Amino acid sequence: MPTSTLLDIDLYLKEKTDWIDKQIFRFMPASDSPAIGRLIESVNYSLRAGGKRIRPILMLATAECFGDSTEHLLPAMAAVEMIHTYSLIHDDLPSMDNDDLRRGQPTNHKKYGEATAILAGDALMTYAYEVVVRYTDRTRVNPRIVLQVVQELGQATGVFGMVGGQMMDLYYEKHTMPNAAELVREIHQRKTGALIRAAVRIGAVLMQCTQIQLDQLTIYANHLGLAFQIVDDILDVECTPEELGKSTGSDEARAKLTYPAVYGLEPAKSLARDQGKLALAALDQFNGHVDTLRVLTEHIVARRK
């Protein structure tokens, strides 16, 4: 697995992203059936569209706190990226956020039609769990740990995680509530934060961390996930579609609960920085090699795309 100096975060991210992109498709299936082939083509279209691969990189960077031998994480890294990509395909659907652009190209339903896009998302979600169970190296990872990884992914993506957060996001476009500040935080923690938290926790679990270490990293991930989504909200206001590779301004147009909408743009920026500082403070309490996570956290909070 390639390594890079932490003095250059852009180089580190490029090396890790390139490595993930080369490895992740080892797990993708093929089929001679025209129908299944069309589905796989749709899946690969979104999965190959690029992206920052932040969630698998966070998983890897967390694992590196415990040691350098991390190749056994690859199935879980692939799975978390598959789940993230599935969520983007479904978020973009006309019945959800109705977006036309994702990662600099037409969204999946614009390319393949709405029905195929729905099935592509379904396929990525379900196949992610198969990848973890089938391909995780049993000589390195106890089956009990594999089961824990599956549970982490299920909790992060289900009713009380990402899917529940998306439902809340849609629901409160039409239903106003007096406790908007509490709601926007809960939406962010579920819709975006839950999968980021799972990526960090899985990286630690697969390196046989202690419960105390897992608890400390969970605190870190909670703050980082919230910071990540606040920054996304800010970029949706300040950036162009060309800069982000996706549609912008739709949050305001749909009257979504976002941090800029609830607090204002400048206070939202301050809150993102605050959450970043809290994430870094949590790392200070962690007994491990956290330099990579620290630099990565600073990059996430300061990003402009």
Check residues 163 and 252 and name the one with the higher pLDDT.
163
Name the pLDDT band for 97 (thresholds 50, 70, 90). Answer: confident
In the prediction, which pLDDT does 246 show? 60
Domain 9-302: give its CATH architecture. Answer: Orthogonal Bundle (1.10)
Name the pLDDT band for 67 (thresholds 50, 70, 90). Answer: confident
pTM of the predicted protein model? 0.92
Whose tokens are 């979600």? That residue is 125
123, with CB counted inside 10 A (0-12, 13-18, 19+), is buried
Segment 254-266 mean pLDDT: 87
In the prediction, which pLDDT does 6 show? 45
Is 301 strand, coil or helix? helix
Q: What is the 8-class DSSP label of residue 290?
A: -
Q: Can you point out the beta strands (E) in 205-304?
A: none
d(CA 267, CA 135): 45
Whole-number average pLDDT of the chain: 90
Name the pLDDT band for 132 (thresholds 50, 70, 90). Answer: very high
In the prediction, which pLDDT does 300 show? 92
Residues 6+ apart with CB under 8 A from 78: 20, 23, 24, 27, 56, 128, 131
Which stretch of 142-156, 191-205, 246-260 has the lowest confidence by average pLDDT? Answer: 246-260
What ranges do the domains of the chain cover?
A: 9-302
In the prediction, which pLDDT does 134 show? 96
Task: Using alpha carbons, select from 161, 153, 180 the residue that is nearest to residue 55.
Answer: 153
- 274 pLDDT higher than 90: yes
Per the CB < 8 A criterion, the answer to whether 297 and 283 are in contact is yes
Tokens matching residue 260: 């800029």
Task: Using alpha carbons, select from 249, 271, 248, 247 the residue that is nearest to residue 259.
Answer: 271
130, with CB counted inside 10 A (0-12, 13-18, 19+), is middle
Phi, psi (5° rounding) for residue 246?
-150, 170
The tens digit of pLDDT for each residue in 99-130 reads: 888 878 999 999 999 999 999 999 999 999 99
